[in-house]
Structure 1
């Protein structure tokens, strides 16, 4: 290895990592928006809609892989390698659980219930706040703005918890068949888990800011 190549290993790669995280945020925002649009109808979701969610999930997997490749290539990172790994993993979980939600709606042949759409709206709002937080993280120059977005994500997760409790209670009091109750409960759990993953990502971002602000 020549001397110039050696020194390149120690050059900060902030722009690479920030850019990749922003691409992940953009992909998640597009995915959550299409989730809202796809769950507006009360009919069963289509194969086409499911395929679109699958494509988003695969795109997120590729971006996640690219971040891990950059971690392996570079000694200097914008913040701790462990924090980068944790944030990458938590963002990937968001895509995974959105995809799983739509997969089981399709597999269970479940009609789209109004509560699915309500969860989709909270998910989309949470992801948009997460996107704003990630864009404001660049160079860690806007900590107050990032914190504000994280607080909003936490508030939305509480809304999702309340909605989940309400819908589960109503489900158990309904006249639906036991098998249908099991299917709907499973789907609601996946949808609620998405907001948990958004909150986890926000908590990781807050931890990074505490270390570096």
Structure 2
């Protein structure tokens, strides 16, 4: 009976393709977010793109979670698969949150630190996108994966520095004269920082897979 049941279940799933597809969506969303924070003239189109990418990412995440439940043999522990796709999805969710806040507050001018943080997010998304295909052979690619995660963690630290500097600048400029503007900028900085925090979580999940399987 158990052997018959096994034959009904998919053998491996397509988790690697899903990881890679999600990371590619995250990179596209990061680029759109960066162009938005750069004050690009196609603001409405950029907002729409971030929203569309977030929906695409959610669809892949749902498919991964379904596959985890129905696949008999998985390349990694099920908990590692769900944690990694969840961390990847959080990066796009935070980009969506940042874009939504920008739209809500009608912000059209952005501080240099905001623009730098958005570009750091693009760099982080590029590293994550590079890392996903390497998971197909963790044993061979363990050293490179670890190097990529170290870079991701360094980028998160760089974003923290930008966040602190930007808040100081905003407080000095608007703290006494335009409190509402300071509150709005603080909110945008918070969302941008969370994007990089989410990429640090991606790095942690990749490192966990490398430790377990390399």
TM-score under structure 2 length normalisation: 0.91
Shift of 1:118: 1.1
Q: How far does the alpha carbon of each residue in 1:74-130 deviate from its partner, in whole angstroms, 9 at most, with x for none? A: 121111111111111111110011011011111101123133221111000011011
Distance 2:90 2:53 in 1: 12
- The residue number in structure 2 matching 1:115 is 113
Q: How far does the alpha carbon of each residue in 1:120-178 deviate from its partner, in whole angstroms, 9 at most, with x for none? A: 11000011011111121113231111111101001100000011011111111113510
Q: Among residues 33, 36, 43, which one is paired with 1:35 in the alignment? A: 33
- The residue number in structure 2 matching 1:7 is 7
The answer on 1:64 being equivalent to 2:61 is yes
Q: What is the number of residues matched between the two proteins?
A: 210
Q: Among residues 132, 135, 139, which one is paired with 1:134 in the alignment? A: 132
Whether contact under 8 Å (2:38, 2:115) holds in the other structure is yes
Aligned positions of 1:23-102 closer than 5 A: 23-41=21-39, 46-102=43-99
Aligned to 1:142, the other structure's residue is in SS state helix
- The residue number in structure 2 matching 1:181 is 182
Whether contact under 8 Å (1:46, 1:106) holds in the other structure is no
Q: How far does the alpha carbon of each residue in 1:45-94 deviate from its partner, in whole angstroms, 9 at most, with x for none? A: 73222111100000000000010110111121111111111111111110
Distance 1:142 1:117 in 2: 33
Distance 2:50 2:33 in 1: 8
Distance 1:40 1:187 in 2: 13
Q: Which runs of 5+ in 1 are unaligned?
A: none
Q: Among residues 103, 106, 109, which one is paired with 1:106 in the alignment? A: 103
Whether contact under 8 Å (1:160, 1:192) holds in the other structure is yes
Whether contact under 8 Å (1:153, 1:199) holds in the other structure is yes
Shift of 1:24: 0.3
TM-score under structure 1 length normalisation: 0.92
Distance 2:60 2:213 in 1: 25
- The residue number in structure 2 matching 1:161 is 160
Which portions of structure 1, spanning 4 or more consecutive aligned residues, are displaced by more than 4 angstroms?
1-5
Whether contact under 8 Å (1:42, 1:112) holds in the other structure is no
Distance 1:42 1:165 in 2: 25
Q: Which runs of 5+ in 2 are unaligned?
A: none
Whether contact under 8 Å (2:118, 2:192) holds in the other structure is yes
Shift of 1:40: 2.2
Shift of 1:9: 2.9
Distance 1:191 1:185 in 2: 10
- The residue number in structure 1 matching 2:143 is 144
